[in-house]
């Protein structure tokens, strides 16, 4: 965890190593951020990340994870 800002509702984190294609041999300087903010009668969740790499494998890998986790979060919150 790099930053937790309750007032701004932001979490920033880094990944130092993981499975390929986000292993330390494949990706460097990975920093992700999640920000939550009110939007109308609901909540907007923005999840972004950046890293250094020469191809699109990490993008495809991370995008799939983000889509699945945000869908699970939405389903969980809608069922409460």
* Domain, as residue range, for 60: 3-78
DSSP string over 6-35: TTTTEEEEEES--STTSSTTT-EEEEEEEE
> pTM of the entire structure?
0.79
Q: How many domains does the chain have?
A: 1
With cut-offs at 50, 70 and 90, classify the pLDDT of residue 47: very high
Helix (H, G, I), strand (E, B) or coil at 50: strand
Residue 44 confidence (pLDDT): 93
**CATH number assigned to the domain comprising residue 46:** 3.30.530.20
Which residues make Cβ contacts (< 8 Å) with residue 14, sequence separation at least 6?
A: 2, 30, 31, 32
- Torsion of the alpha carbons at 57, 61, 66 and 71, rounded to the nearest 10: 130
Beta strands in 25-71 (DSSP E): 28-39, 42-52
pLDDT at residue 22, rounded to an integer: 85
């Amino acid at each position: 965890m790099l930053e937790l800002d309750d007032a701004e509702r932001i979490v920033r984190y880094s990944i130092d190593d993981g499975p390929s294609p986000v292993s330390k041999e494949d990706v460097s300087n990975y920093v992700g951020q999640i920000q939550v903010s009110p939007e109308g009668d609901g909540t907007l969740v923005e999840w972004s990340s950046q890293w250094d790499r020469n191809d699109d494998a990490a993008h495809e890998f991370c995008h799939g994870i983000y889509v699945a986790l945000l869908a699970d979060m939405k389903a969980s919150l809608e069922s409460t």
